[in-house]
Amino acid sequence: MTSFLHSLADHVSLLSMAVAVGGIAVFMYHAHRGGKLGKLLPSSHCGRRSPVLNGVVASQQPEMATRKAIHHIRRGEIATLGELVYFFRGIGNEKKIFIDPVLLSYLQRLLAADAPPDAISIELQDAHVREMLCQLCHCSEQAAHLGKERATSFDAENPEHMRLLRELWAAAGKSPADFSHRSDQWVEFGFQGLDPATDFRGGGVLALRQFLHFAQTHNTEFKQMMAFNKRAIAAGEHSWYLLAVVSIQFTAQLLLQQDHAFYLPQLEVLYDTICRENDGNDKKSDVTMRHVGNARADVMERRCGNKERRETSDGNRGKAVHIPWSEKSDFEVGFYLLHHQLLLHFKTCWHRDLPHVMEYGNYMPTVFRSFFVPA
């Protein structure tokens, strides 16, 4: 009986090993064929599963990474630029919002008008695939420009820089006649001292532009925070908004890719936002921001009708996503939009909790954790 049990145990072990090996073989087969098994990871949107590059490093094998991306685009599994960036950055790079420079250089050469014949060129004849890759390159070039602007220091001797500072002063409802580069009124804006230039070191001229744009496009909320600060400071309270400091910090942190994990919702705001020029004479409203993530559904609704929109929302995106986009994504507009969303989120959190202003350093991680979420 004992020998029989040992024999049975040996057979069970062999059977278990065979099942395990068979399972691994099936997994490897599907992965090799580009199947869904082991390829699609749950994304941040309910009902959406976005592929992510696995087993290939885009910087080392840009051609292979591009082929895999095209495969998913043609299958309708990658329908937005945010999903494309999410795919290219790979597993373990959640803080990255830009594609690798080596991959970008490869895509630019591949899409160039005088590019030599390549085996991948046939797949690029698909207008939708080519348009997505072209727009990704366009957004990446815009991101590089923003990085240079962030590295440009504020210069009080530069007339353009001072013009922006004067506009910020005016956005607060202050008289142009009272403007001063150094004034105790800058504290009401949330600067740390009398000279705002000292706070712009981390974000450069870009930080000033973004703060000004927020003040103009969200003027009601901006003035609410200004009024709150003025009352709190006059009353000797210690819970006023460090609005300017927070805005500058957001500008720097979003571009430096060091502090926060970016999930699909944030990537789609960055890469799937378009801008449109409005009719009218108001310069402050000559551009509108429209976030068109999740298969750029509102754009496709106009092009395809409600039936196509319903098919897309039901997960059958194949037909809709292959329609070429007529409106170009604008990374700069998306970057401003994400910055403003984060600043408004900060306003909500700070007003709710009213922490001591000296607790700013310990409090801000709470703001970030509740903003940078998968859904």
Q: Which among 207, 236, 240 has a CA at the least distance from the CA of 358? A: 240
Please list, in sequence order, all residues whose beta carbon lies within 8 angstroms of the beta carbon of residue 325, skipping any fewer than 6 positions away. Answer: 128, 131, 132, 135, 296, 299
Q: Which among 146, 189, 193 has a CA at the least distance from the CA of 165? A: 189
Q: Rounded CA gap, 88 and 62, in Å?
A: 9
Token pair, residue 153, equals: 């220091």
The SS3 call for residue 274 is: strand
Compute the half-sphere exposure of residue 236: CA atoms within 13 Å on the CB side of its CA.
Answer: 0
Strands 287-291 and 273-277: antiparallel
The pLDDT of residue 260 is: 86
Question: Along the 375 residues of the chain, how does pLDDT read in single tens digits?
Answer: 444 334 434 443 443 443 333 333 333 333 333 333 223 333 344 445 789 998 888 999 999 999 999 999 999 899 999 999 999 999 999 999 999 999 999 999 999 877 776 667 777 888 889 999 999 999 999 999 999 999 999 999 999 999 999 999 999 999 999 999 999 999 999 998 899 999 998 899 999 999 999 999 999 999 999 999 999 989 988 888 889 999 999 999 888 888 889 999 999 999 998 876 554 444 444 445 555 544 343 433 333 333 333 333 333 333 333 334 456 789 999 999 999 999 999 999 998 998 988 888 899 999 999 999 887
Residue 207 and residue 247 in contact, taking contact as beta carbons nearer than 8 Å: yes
Q: Rounded CA gap, 369 and 364, in Å?
A: 9
The pLDDT of residue 201 is: 85
Token pair, residue 237, equals: 């309270």
Supply the DSSP symbol for 122.
T
The pLDDT of residue 239 is: 85
Q: Which among 25, 28, 23, 48 has a CA at the least distance from the CA of 38? A: 28
Token pair, residue 66, equals: 């591009």
The pLDDT of residue 276 is: 61
Which amino acid does the sequence have at 357? V
The pLDDT of residue 115 is: 72
Which amino acid does the sequence have at 212? L
Token pair, residue 28, equals: 């490897």
The pLDDT of residue 275 is: 74
- Provide the β-strand partners of residue 287: 277
- CA 77 to chain CA mean position, Å: 19
Place of tokens 């799937």: 272
